[in-house]
A and B are shown apart, each in its own frame.
Chain A
Amino acid sequence: MAETKSHIGTQNKKGQTYTDPWKMLNEAPRKPSFYTGSEVIKEAIRRASCDVMIAYPITPQSEAAALIGELFAEGYIGDYFRGESEFAVMSQCAGAAFGGARVFTTTAGPGTMRAMENFPMWAGARLPIQMIVTCRGINSPLSIQPDTLEIAYLLNTGMLVWHAETAQDFFDWILKGYMVSEEPDVHLPLALCCDGFFVTHTKDVVNLTPTDMCLPPYDPYRSPVPCMDMECPPVRMMRDPFVMKSNYISYATHASWQQEVWAAVERSRKHTIHWLDGLIDTENADAEVMIVASGTAVSQGREAIRLLEDEGVRCGLVKVKSLRPWPAEEICEATKNAKHIFVPEFNVTGWLAKEIKATIPNSERVHAGPHVCGGMTMPPEIIVSEIKTALGLRSESLAGRGS
């Protein structure tokens, strides 16, 4: 096998210096830049030392996927191409990761669903691919608007799932994501989600690390399973393939591996806490009324808290950053004083509220909602109204609803 050595301090072909990731992300000077979310994805990948990016157009991620093509043309990525469908793209990503490459791709909505068979395969094969999911509607009638329903399907694939609120989250978490998912005791794919358009197509000031610094390259020989490059000697893996056998050993093999994948998700917890500075962020954690949210619902929740404060209602906030690993203990702790817990969500089924109800004691405290779906915006007034109604406070009727 190739020697595992440190690249830190040396330069890549583009003249970027491989930098200690902790120093690059926490100590290097940052430059404020006014960019769309899609441009921020490009900027993160510029610094990510990616070997292979595979693209397929679907709104709202097409722009990011195209911008990364420009990076390839500039020589920042080893290879880049458009696959023939999302199912194929995710398979191509798998092939590249099996071959020991650091792999990146982006998708959304129906694309995520079409590719779905690949995700448990990625996790089972321990491929640390990073996939950006810029969430959008998945059901008929066709919609391109943001709707986080697809996250619910990703939660049980064995992938790590993070939900970014802002473009700044995106920039930092793309780079940090590789640090967590490539740890030898984790080595799992990461679905880094955001609410399409709200994050991808709006401009924001994002603090970027210097362009001449990049992550150290991926070392595939730190993988817990062999890299498929014939650099380590092959052996016949089994005398008797268990796949089609109906016997205890075959069940046990599959079961123990499935459990190992989920154990790896658990082992990612300590690394995620280290890099993301906790799985959740909190504000006013001692309040009796709490909002628990992920993605841009967090921003709307923050605004609702400000409006409620004006009306004399004190409200706290939990921002859930990582959905897998799931911050069960943190959410229990942060909501222990809460009499009412509100979970605003950009989807119709309320998957986050269900997860929270299944996690905390006295789950009747959880008010699942408000829900907006189909790409609707969530005015903070809706959250305020939901909270005031539940607390028995008079709430002015919202415009458009009639009275």
Chain B
Amino acid sequence: MSKERIKISPDLYDIMPSDYQDLVQSATYGKEDRGWKDIGTSKELIEQHSLCAGCPESMAFRYILASLPNPEDTVMVGSTGCTSLVFPMVAVHNIHSLFGNQNAIASGLKRALSVRFPDRVKDVVVLAGDGATVDIGLDMTLQAWFRQEKFTTICFDNELYANTGGQESGLMQKGFVAKMAPVGKLFDKVRLPEIARESGCHYVVNCTVSKPSLVEKVIRNSVLIAREIGPTYVQLYTPCILEIGKNSMEGLQEMRDSEKPTERFAYKEYVSEPAKQLLAELATKDKERKAAAKQLAGKA
């Protein structure tokens, strides 16, 4: 979609919903350096949300949507779960079909978009909970990676099934007593980031969403690498404050506590060799672009 396309016909201006008018007037579409700092100053791709007050998923959503390199041509694929309640309020095309099939939907979607738009960039981003990613949808998650499908998979890891009230998930810690895990979870947290690396992902990050600049960098990298090279995976700790018994103000601290070097969400990153090369090339181009812009500004 070109930015031109979202212009409103002057004759229809006053009957367009205000949401839409705002989007056209002050969205970050087309802005090369869009990022989380635009939140609150530019029109966001998400504003209201229907998650619990203080749910870290809502912060994660904001940072991710603000960091998409190319929202004008990005389609997101979700899955049933808390995230599916947010997608109807997100201003990019988004598909919610069933529980767990997000990476299969994205595979078909990305291939269709490649067939239909061979000369254009169309990014696909999957965003789903840990139940959808690692349990019911695991074969489809892995097989998309094996097949080297060119899209990013983001897992909102809240270490349980939040939407159905806190049942055991594969990403839950061992020993945690949950609904349907009445004597505590019997096996370790599935090591999905390692599995992702072994399965062919070119960029894998495991972290929390406590630092917006870090989330921005990770999301940008993961989308750009997926676009050019192959699958990427980002696992973000978005604790379900409701189910672990925290107050709405305590989500941030919970994430900070879990990202300490010895904890399960200590920052971990894997970049494949071709991905490293691409990132280096992109960094050089970025520098050149910024220098040129500075020069131009100096002349003006």
Interface residues of A (CB under 8 A from B): 1, 51-52, 54, 78-79, 81, 83-85, 87-89, 91-101, 103, 117-118, 121, 125, 226, 228-241, 243-244
Contacts and interface: CB of A to CB of B under 8 A. Distances in A.
Nearest to B71: A230
B273 interface: no
A52 B108 contact: yes
B125 to A, nearest CB: 12
Contact of A88 (B73, B87, B111, B139): B139
Given A91-B97, A98-B105, A99-B108, A238 B88 contact: yes
A15 B98 CA distance: 39
Contacts of A237: 88-89
B108 A92 contact: yes
Interface of B: 1, 5-6, 17, 19-20, 23, 46-48, 50, 72-75, 77, 84-95, 97-98, 101, 104-117, 122, 139-140, 143, 147
Nearest to B106: A95
A286 B214 CA distance: 78
Given A91-B97, A95-B109, A243 B104 contact: no
A20 B151 CA distance: 37
Contact of B113 (A89, A103, A229): A229
A233 B77 contact: no
B105 A95 contact: yes
The 9 A-B pairs with the shortest beta carbon distances in the complex, nearest first, are: A95-B108, A99-B112, A78-B115, A91-B104, A96-B108, A91-B101, A101-B112, A92-B108, A95-B109
Contacts, number: 162
A319 B19 CA distance: 54
Given A84-B139, A84-B140, A95-B77, A236 B105 contact: no
A110 to B, nearest CB: 17
B50 A231 contact: no
B88 A241 contact: yes
Contacts of B114: 79
A79 B97 contact: no
Contacts of B92: 230, 234
B95 A228 contact: yes
A228 B124 CA distance: 11
B23 A235 contact: yes
A228 B139 CA distance: 24
A230 B108 contact: no
Given A228-B109, A231-B1, A235-B23, 20 more contacts: A51-B115, A88-B101, A88-B104, A88-B140, A91-B98, A92-B108, A94-B105, A95-B77, A98-B95, A98-B105, A100-B113, A101-B112, A117-B98, A229-B122, A231-B5, A232-B5, A233-B1, A239-B48, A239-B89, A244-B85
Given A92-B108, A100-B116, A243 B101 contact: no
